[in-house]
Amino acid sequence: MYAIRRHKRIALPATASLTVKGGPRVQSLQTMVADISLSGIGVYSDHAITVGKEIAMDIYFVSSDGSLKSTSVEGNSHYVRRIRDIYYVGIHFKEDLAPEKQPLLYECLMVLLKCQCN
């Protein structure tokens, strides 16, 4: 049974560089963002990530002014689902995205959420 989400997830054309910690070696992965909310992100990866791993990520996205931007966020892998030859990885942020800490990504999400409501 799935828990009810606290925040709406929205599609975001973006990529994310993940650094997976907590194993015998640090694992670095390039992923494509599937969706994002204020409290988490879903990414497509060529590699599975064990649930519960600590993850540092840099998210690369197009800001509201049309330029490529990035922001850093930390979280934990929450679930992994294999879809043929790739994996969908759900990551819960350690702290919700906030305008004080991730101003450009937060603004981008607010613009996209407003567009979805109209």
* CB contact at 8 A, 48 and 88: no
User: pLDDT band at residue 2, thresholds of 50, 70 and 90?
Assistant: low
Q: What's the mean per-residue pLDDT of the chain? A: 90
Does position 45 have pLDDT exceeding 80, yes or no?
Answer: yes
Domains and CATH numbers, the chain: 14-117 (2.40.10.220)
Name the percent of the chain in helix, strand, coil, to the closest 5. 15, 50, 40
User: pLDDT band at residue 116, thresholds of 50, 70 and 90?
Assistant: low
